[in-house]
Chains A and B, each alone.
Chain A
Amino acid sequence: MRPETIQRLSEIVGKDNIYTALEDLYCYTYDASFVKADLNTDLAGVAVYPGSTEEIARIIKIANQEKIPIVPRGAGTNVSGGSVSLGNCIILVLKRMNKILEIDRKNLIAVVEPGVITAQLQGEAEKMGLFYPPDPASQAFSTMGGNVAECAGGPRGVKYGVTRDYVIGLEVVLPSGEVINTGGRTMKNVTGYDMTKLFTGSEGTLCVITKIIVKLIPLPEAKNTMMAVFPEIAQACETVSEIIAAGLVPCALELLDNIYIKNIEEYAKVGLPIDAGAVLLIEVDGDSEILGKQIRKIEQICKGLGAVQIRIASTQMEAEELWRARRSAFAAVSRLRPTIIGEDATVPRSSIPDAVNRIQAIAAKYDLIIAILGHAGDGNLHATILTDETNVEEMARVEKAINEIFIVTVELGGSLSGEHGIGRAKSKFITLQTGEAGLAVQRQIKQALDPHNLLNPGVMFGA
């Protein structure tokens, strides 16, 4: 990058908030996905940490004049390669803009800057008896800006939906450098196109998010947690469908397959039968008086469909113990192989048994270990490929397996990604789902807002 450009950027953000050393820039060549930027071609030119919307607008105007690509970034925890550097780009890190501007008890909304950590907002809301439900696994360290840009989901999606269901207004800086506000503080709003929903999940390709208005809901009074063990994964899948069909809506419905069960038991000794086909972890929340009744109904369904072991937590401690199995899942399988690739294919809930079968067949075909863990309640399966990235031959098989998983997902009427995003990791598959005409429409939207392709080029639509 030209020294004059760096000088101009430095004048905007201050010399303490700009980084140009190789060792610093090297640390923006990755995010939490397996996508890595090539050091020789895709090292960023500079990383800047702006402190205000106005600074961002000025930075974008410079980028516009000089046609420099911009990669916006929060905590860099996305799992689709949405925030890795591009050759000579500006990495725009929003972590300094980290204030909760207000939590409005009367209107049940919160207004936050993009760098606020999701769990921090949740903690502050809870102190006021309010609830911001989206719960990506990274909630303790990911940012609200990143969550909105990726439309993050989580286990609670089955009952409470995802980030998009809570964002009602945004302040954004457009690729031109102009600042606009979308949506607002009202629950109803049909003035013009729904730009708020368009920008949510736009993966940093249409705008830089600088302020977020989310709606909050009352904090559920209590929770009840149970675990059911099934000899066959098909029985667990059927149970999921039955629970949903019975009109019961748990706030978490997590499925673990046999590979996970075996490893969790070896690692954490939580008392799971190692020959079990699947485990369901189920949690209901709401008014404490009705929870017991709901859990009993779910218990009946589980027993009716062949559960061999059911544990219902009667205290908070016991609930924690049940969750310990789920939480140690990752650490448990990471002992098997050094590299873990988490996929995110999502299918209609009724297709879960089919999807599981076909993923297992793909694993056998390419001689790979693919474990399945999923937010089964919303059809969001996380096929986890356990491999070794230093083994070139095996990685080639991994790539083929991933391709086939995507094809199967779309065949089953599902989505390439439930909550991880397309990023760079899945951009070449996007037409599988959108079709050529569908992709053309999306490209036209991108072209209209970002004619010089400056914001996160390559993400979503490929190079």
Chain B
Amino acid sequence: MNRSLESWQNEAIRCIRCGACQNVCPVFKELQVESTVARGRVKLIRGVINKDLDLSEGLIDKMSLCLMCKACVANCPSGVKVDKLVEAARKEIAEKKGLSPLKNLVFRLVLKNRWIFDTGMRTGRFFQGLVFRKGPEGQGVLPRMSLGIDKRRLLSPLAQKTFKSLYPEVVNVPEAKMKVAFFTGCMINYIYTDTGRAVINVLKKNGVEVRIPALQNCCGTPVRINGDYETAKTMAKANIDVLLKENYDSVVVACGTCGLSLKEEYAELLQDDPIYLEKAKKLGSIVKDFTELVVALEGFQDKMGHLPLKVTYHDPCHLARGLRVKAQPRKIIRSIPGVVFQEMDKADTCCGSGGSFSLYHYELSTKINDHKVNTIKQTGAELLVTGCSACRMHIADGLNRQGISVQVMHTAQLIEMAYESKQRKDNEKFGGIGGKGLG
């Protein structure tokens, strides 16, 4: 998409300034200042378009104060695409003013080049002990020194081995009923390999052959929403080529952000490239969130054993308002015998992570997170399930800060647990050797 910022004027004037976004914007809820709500952002963007305002430091800061959670878009009576407007403004800023040196390095060198990312992440694993200390109860790590990241920030440690190095490219099952590609995304590959493992185990158990194409990259969203379109396009094309190389019934994602980029945003990004636009649309048509795929599998719930747990669910922004997946994870959770599902208040309000937002605006991001943690606490649940690794990390950090012992996991892991529970029961019943888990 090579649209100029000026070309967004017609979208911007559709904002009738009614103020309905004040009711849902998580950033405004904390700051309460007009320039930090969607209506204000749109006005500022119009100000840039009609040359009332420059791309000043102040303006750049206002544009960075958006979580891209889409709550305003979903609640706007005129349906103004505020997220697209902010993205267009960030693109303008990146082109005219350049990215910050750190973002430049990360986006242009690291995320774009898989081998550097891999090497960096592997090296990172050895050195992280020097920089981070273990969090309480062995959960996560806390920074030992200032990295421009708040010292209280609970980050999850990098995995000992990346997910893709743990599994072969093809995970075979006898008499497979379908063949899918698994797009892991960065956080599952480098940090939450347990989520990746659960995705594979659950799909295998349901007779789905899973391929994990080795040459897949970061989806490119962190790069694109910070305005670096050129890098994002290169990354999108590489992923499209990798994922369309073979015929898959579906491309499965376990992250709403990756999923939305593959399903819809690649096609928007590559609008001016007729060849890749077609390919992007083709890819988009087969992308499915993991939970969408699971609920469509016949008998997925028959393999579930008893789990005596009180569970609540947090809707990730890009899964709920991006891929419109809200019912499927709930259906899965409710189908597990023994699980008591307790809906939290405002389950689809942003957890405050916003990807790199939480690194640049940590104080604010934790304030937003405090509301989420409180609503989780009110449910009395002992387990918080969600469909996004970034939410998982940010909410675990919040629970840690407030000393609340609620476990956090991905929906795939909960299903894996339920399957294991039945497997154990069956093994006991038939005198088999227990504890081997799924196979």
| Interface residues, chain A, with chain B CB atoms under 8 Å away | 19, 21-24, 26-32, 39, 47, 49, 75-77, 95-96, 137-138, 140-142, 330-331, 334-335, 338-340, 388-390
Other-chain residue from B10, B43, B52, B58 in contact with A338 (beta carbon distance below 8 A): B10
B19 touching A340, Cβ below 8 Å: no
| Nearest CB on B from A222, distance (A) | 26
Q: Could you tell me if B40 and A27 are in contact, using CB atoms closer than 8 angstroms?
A: yes
A339 near B35 with CB under 8 A, answer: no
For residue A96, which residues in chain B have a CB less than 8 angstroms away from its CB? 32
Contact A26/B44 with A95-B32, A334-B79 known, Cβ cut-off 8 Å? yes
Q: Is the CB of A390 within 8 A of B13?
A: yes
Can you list, as one digit per residue, whether each of B45-77 has a CB less than 8 Å from chain A (1) or not (0)?
001000011001011011000000000000001
Total interface residues on B, CB under 8 Å, equals: 29
Give Cα A392 to B19, complex, Å: 26
Whether A334 lies near B34 (C-beta < 8 A) is: no
Closest B residue by C-beta to A95: B32
B4 at the interface (CB under 8 A from A): no
Q: CB distance B18 to A138 under 8 Å?
A: yes
Is B14's CB under 8 angstroms from A338's CB?
yes
Set of chain B residues within 8 Å of A32, measured between Cβ atoms: 16-19
- Closest B residue by C-beta to A328: B77
A49 to B22, alpha carbons, bound, how many Å?
16
Once the chains bind, are A75 and B56 in contact (CB under 8 Å)?
no
Contact B34 A28 (CB under 8 A): yes
Does A26 lie within 8 Å of B22, measured CB to CB? no
Closest to B14 in A: A338
| Nearest CB in chain B to that of A337: its residue | B14
B19 near A138 with CB under 8 A, answer yes
Contact of B9 among A24, A76, A335, A390 (CB under 8 A): A390
Residues in B whose Cβ lies below 8 Å from that of A335: 79
A76: which of B13, B19, B47, B77 is its contact (CB, 8 Å)?
B19
Contact with A along B269-309 (1 / 0, CB 8 A): 00000000000000000000000000000000000000000
B105 within 8 A of A: no
Q: Which residues does chain B contribute within 8 Å of A26, judged by CB atoms?
A: 35, 43-44, 47, 52-53
Q: Which residues of B contact A29 (CB under 8 A)?
A: 43
A331 to B33, alpha carbons, bound, how many Å? 26
Whether the pair A30, B13 counts as a contact (CB closer than 8 A) is no
B113 at the interface (CB under 8 A from A): no
CB atoms of A23 and B9 under 8 A apart: no
User: Can you identify 26 A-B contacts, CB atoms within 8 angstroms?
Assistant: A22-B53, A22-B58, A23-B44, A23-B53, A24-B33, A24-B34, A26-B43, A26-B44, A27-B44, A32-B17, A32-B18, A47-B33, A49-B32, A76-B34, A95-B32, A96-B32, A138-B19, A140-B23, A330-B77, A330-B78, A331-B79, A334-B16, A335-B79, A338-B14, A339-B13, A390-B9
CA distance A330 to B77 in the complex (A): 6
Give the shortest distance, in Å, between B36 (CB) and chain A (any CB).
9
Residues of chain A within 8 A (CB-CB) of B18 are: 32, 77, 137-138
Min Cβ gap B27→A in Å is 14
**How long is the Cα–Cα vector from A95 to B33 in the complex, in angstroms?**
9
A contact residues around B16 at 8 Å (CB): 32, 334, 339-340
Say whether B20 faces chain A, with CB atoms less than 8 Å apart.
yes
Additional 19 contacts, C-beta under 8 A, given A77-B19, A340-B16: A19-B35, A23-B62, A24-B34, A24-B58, A26-B35, A32-B16, A32-B18, A75-B19, A76-B34, A95-B32, A96-B32, A137-B18, A141-B22, A331-B77, A331-B79, A334-B16, A334-B79, A388-B13, A390-B13
The 6 closest A-B pairs by CB, nearest first: A27-B34, A334-B78, A77-B19, A27-B40, A23-B58, A27-B35
| B residues with CB within 8 A of A | 9-10, 13-14, 16-20, 22-23, 32-35, 40, 43-44, 47, 52-53, 56, 58-59, 61-62, 77-79
Q: Which residue of A lies closest to B20 (CB)?
A: A141
Q: How far is the CB of B26 from chain A (nearest CB, A)?
A: 14
Residue numbers in B under 8 Å from A21 (CB-CB)? 58
Minimal beta-carbon separation of B93 from chain A (angstroms)? 13
Q: How far is the CA of A185 from the CA of B279 in the complex (A)?
A: 69
Please, how many angstroms separate the alpha-carbon atoms of A389 and B13 in the complex?
8
Complex Cα–Cα for A338 and B17 (A):
12
Residues of A within 8 Å of B53, CB to CB, are 22-23, 26
Question: A389 to B15, alpha carbons, bound, how many Å?
Answer: 12
In angstroms, how far is the closest chain A Cβ from the Cβ of B90? 15
Q: Which residue of B lies closest to A33 (CB)?
A: B17
Q: Measured between alpha carbons, how far is A331 from B16 in the docked complex, in Å? A: 11
CA distance A30 to B17 in the complex (A): 8
A137 to B10, CA, bound (A): 25
B18, B34, B47, B59 — most chain A CB neighbours (10 Å) = B34
Assembled-state Cα–Cα distance A96/B9 (Å): 33
Nearest neighbor of B58 in chain A, beta-carbon distance: A23
Contact present for B77 and A140 (CB under 8 Å): no
Chain B residue at minimal CB-CB distance from A390 = B13
B56's partner among A23, A47, A76, A137 (CB-CB below 8 A) is A23
> What are the residues of chain A within 8 A of B58 when measuring CB–CB?
21-24
Nearest chain B CB to A26 CB, angstrom units: 6
Measured in the bound complex, the distance between the Cα atoms of B34 and A95 in whole Å is 11
> Given A23-B62, A96-B32: A338 and B13 within 8 A (CB)?
yes
Shortest CB–CB separation between residue A391 and chain B, in angstroms? 11
Q: Which residues of A contact B40 (CB under 8 A)?
A: 27
- A89–B58 Cα gap in the complex (Å)? 21
Q: Contacts A32-B17, A140-B23 given; indicate if A23 touches B34 (C-beta within 8 A).
A: no
Q: Is the pair A141, B34 in contact by a Cβ cutoff of 8 Å?
A: no
Which of B13, B58, B77 has the largest number of chain A CB atoms within 10 A?
A: B77
User: Across the interface, which residues of B come within 8 angstroms of A77, CB to CB?
Assistant: 18-19, 22
* Distance between Cα atoms of A140 and B19 in the complex (Å): 10
Q: How far is the CB of B257 from chain A (nearest CB, A)?
A: 27
Assembled-state Cα–Cα distance A138/B13 (Å): 20
CA A331 – CA B17 in complex, angstroms? 14
